């Protein structure tokens, strides 16, 4: 199961908006090169992975174990159940609050991370 399957369109949109703001604050040159979309995709992937790692690490041990079991279900049904129980950001106030806290924490560090990622990305182009 990939990251896009576990994010609702609304949450993906919010992540994209958040990352757009962080990219603007990162003081990068204009992203008009052929590979810049690849870079932005990499940034989104890293951000989503970091978000989920931070989020899951704040959950109790039982929820973390259930996530590992859900990830092994090839049908995706257990993952959907896990998400409804542990990460329903639209309907569960505790999940929503935790996700907002994580994103707000990331907001302070993300522009610097993006700048560093861009420097590393440019090195791979040469």
For the stretch 50-92, pLDDT in tens is: 999 999 999 999 999 999 999 999 998 999 999 999 998 888 9
What is the mean predicted confidence (pLDDT) over 83-109? 89
What is the mean predicted confidence (pLDDT) over 4-28? 70
Q: What's the mean pLDDT when you consider all of the chain? A: 84
Q: Which of 66, 98, 97 is nearest to 83 (CA)?
A: 66
**What pLDDT is recorded for position 57?**
95
Number of helices (H), then strands (E), in the chain: 5, 0
């Amino acid at each position: 199961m990939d990251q896009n399957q576990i994010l609702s369109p609304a949450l993906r949109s919010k992540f994209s908006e958040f990352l757009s703001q962080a990219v603007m604050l990162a003081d990068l040159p204009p992203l008009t090169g052929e590979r810049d979309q690849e870079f932005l995709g990499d940034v989104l992937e890293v951000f989503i992975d970091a978000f989920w790692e931070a989020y899951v690490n704040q959950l109790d041990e039982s929820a973390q174990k259930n996530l590992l079991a859900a990830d092994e279900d090839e049908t995706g049904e257990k993952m959907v159940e896990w998400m409804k129980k542990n990460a329903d950001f639209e309907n569960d106030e505790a999940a929503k609050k935790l996700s907002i806290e994580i994103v707000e924490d990331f907001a302070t560090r993300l522009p610097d991370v993006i700048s560093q990622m861009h420097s590393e990305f440019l090195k791979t182009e040469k």
